[in-house]
Structure 1
Amino acid sequence: VYARNLHRSSVYTPQLVVDGQVDSLGDPQAVARALSEHRDGVLVTVTVRDAQVRVELGAHLGAPDSDVVLVTYLRHSVSAIGRGENAGRNLEEFNIVRGIRTLGTWQGEVRGFDVPVSALPPDATDAAVLVQPHRQAPIIGAAAHALRSSGVTVRAAQP
């Protein structure tokens, strides 16, 4: 899908995609230009208070009907490898998605969503909210917030 959206004849792994429309291999000038040209986003705020995640979206006249998606993730994990060619080594991973849930549809109005932290995966350390028009359109709003401490999760090797 992204190759078509980026008007590419083949698939490759870009280092950065801005608004699902501009890709870059990391050239700092191209990145700065792409970011400055794509600023018409939706205001999204995420707060965590009293064991609740609160997502608020600002009004945006003419915004297309969009999904509001909550992505929970584990910021950092280290797994000990017990078997195979990498036995005895540690695998370090970052931003591991632990859950994805659609909170609802947003139609350009001021809107809020509440999710109890207890309803989220227990090992998730952070949450990101993505606002995306239906059918794989570019993301028009996003925000992230820590859910709990940023300590590293260490998993032992399984025999």
Structure 2
Amino acid sequence: MKLLAGSTAAALLPLPRLAAGAPAAAPVVVELFTSQGCSSCPPADAYLRELSKRDDVLALSLPVDYWDYLGWKDTFASPAYTRRQKAYAEALGLRNVYTPQMVIGGMKDAVGSQKRAVEAAIQACKESLAAETVPLTFKKENSMICVEAAAGNPAPATLWFITYQKKGTVEIKRGENKGRDLTYTNIVRDMTPLSSWNGSTLRIELPAKSLAATGYDGCAALLQEDGQGRILGAAKFEMS
């Protein structure tokens, strides 16, 4: 999917329906790096489903492709998510990548099935960014969906736009999970950089037609420090 910042459009499809209201505080982003070929991942996938129901968390699944050699090609995986995970490993000073790994707020990581560690990391991220969170909002204006980032402490950062599939169930026919039907939540299908951010207010307009055409039912925006750093702000909305 390609979206053009500041573009205009005509003859649009019906606009996506925005979820009413916005959360009082920015959600903490939890990214789960998972794989259909990993037998240790299903408990973490189930936990992410629990996290996705919380208002204070934006839970995302990013399936990686490096377990495909075990005999089952992950139907949702992307090399881009493998690269993102490796970039996190470098930024966080980790020796290796692994699954299931949750990266919380771009700042901390934990084994995705270890709930206590993940909960502690979520709370730590809330406290760390309490004074630095940058509010992000979505607005529907005529034929456009507008993403706005408020002003904040200057830091080289990138505004990302994400489309995700809220639910997907896969019958695994080979590999470590052979014979299982596994369900995934908030599966990232595209992640596009919209603009750089330097602390000033920022407004990006996206043609609603492009969003409707994706066929996916969830979208989100992330403001992340460059160098695979902290996620300073996040927001989401749903499409019908």
Q: TM-score, normalised by structure 1?
A: 0.71
List alignment gaps of at least 5 residues for structure 2: 1-86
Matched, 1:99 2:190: yes
Preserved CA contact (<8 Å) 1:18 1:35: no
Q: 1:100 to 1:134 in 2, by over 3 A?
A: same
Q: Could you list the per-position Cα deviations for residues 14-66 of structure 1 after superposition, in whole angstroms to 9, with x for gaps in the alignment?
A: 654333222334314454344323322211112345453211111113x2122
Deviation at 1:78, TM superposition (A): 3.9
User: Cα distance 1:13–1:48, how it changes in 2: closer, same or farther (>3 A)?
Assistant: farther
- Name 1:18's counterpart in structure 2: 104
Paired position in structure 1 for 2:210: 119
AA paired with 1:8? L
Unaligned runs of at least 5 residues, structure 1: 149-159
Larger radius of gyration: 1
> Which amino acid letter does the alignment assign opposite residue 102 of structure 1?
P
The CA distance in 2 between the partners of 1:100 and 1:34, in whole Å, is 22
Task: State the 1:67 CA deviation.
Answer: 1.5
Kept after mapping to 1: 8 A contact 2:164/2:216: yes
Which residue does 1:2 correspond to in 2? 88
Once the two structures are TM-superposed, the CA of residue 11 in structure 1 deviates from its matched residue by: 3.3
Q: Whose helix proportion is higher, 1 or 2?
A: 2
Task: Output aligned runs, 1:145-156, within 5 Å.
Answer: 145-148=237-240
Given the superposition, is the C-alpha separation of residues 125 and 22 from structure 1 closer, same or farther in structure 2, using an over 3 Å criterion? same
Identity among equivalent positions (%) equals 26
- 1:53 aligned counterpart, secondary structure: strand
* Contact 2:107/2:229 (<8 A) preserved: no
Aligned to 1:56: 148
Bigger strand share: 1
The letter of the residue matching 1:147 is M
Number of residue pairs matched by the alignment: 144
